[in-house]
Amino acid sequence: MKILIDADDAATGLKKVIVEHLKDKGIQVEDLDYLGRTPGAAYPEVAYNLAKKVQAGKLDRAILICGTGLGMAMMANKVEGVFAGVCHDVYSAERLRASNNAQVLTMGARVVGEEVAKTIVDAWLKAEFQGGRSAPKVESMRKLEKESFNK
């Protein structure tokens, strides 16, 4: 499994914690470090950069972290084919993947502490899309997304 990760200036500390947590679990993680390459960039650019890589389909999943996780999710969802959701609890993280087949988890460094963030990431990574009753709903989201992006 390969995970992409990035964060804005409000969340670089939590990003480092999550990167180390993933590496300790033997998970391949690539820190895009958009801020390091583009000083002064804000969360929209950070999220867009990562979401475009998700759109290209060259990874398993991705994580974005900002102050609340909200702006990152909003921006990532502006890229066609990308499903992102903000999670601040374990159950939501599990359902984000299991029910909604989202590739991108977003979190807020000002909302969750380091240990909670690790459990959220673990739950999301462990979960797999279950299909079943959720499959037609996800397919409907994809269809409506195409309609919206291709007008």
Question: Which residues are catalytically annotated?
Answer: 66
Distance CA 51, CA 138 (A): 18
- Residue pair 48/79 in contact (Cβ under 8 Å)? The answer is yes
The amino acid sitting at 46 is V
Reading the block at residue 24, the tokens are 């300790």
Tell me which residue of 85, 81, 83, 80 sits closest to 70, measured CA to CA. 85
DSSP 2-24: EEEEEE-TTSHHHHHHHHHHHHH
The amino acid sitting at 19 is V
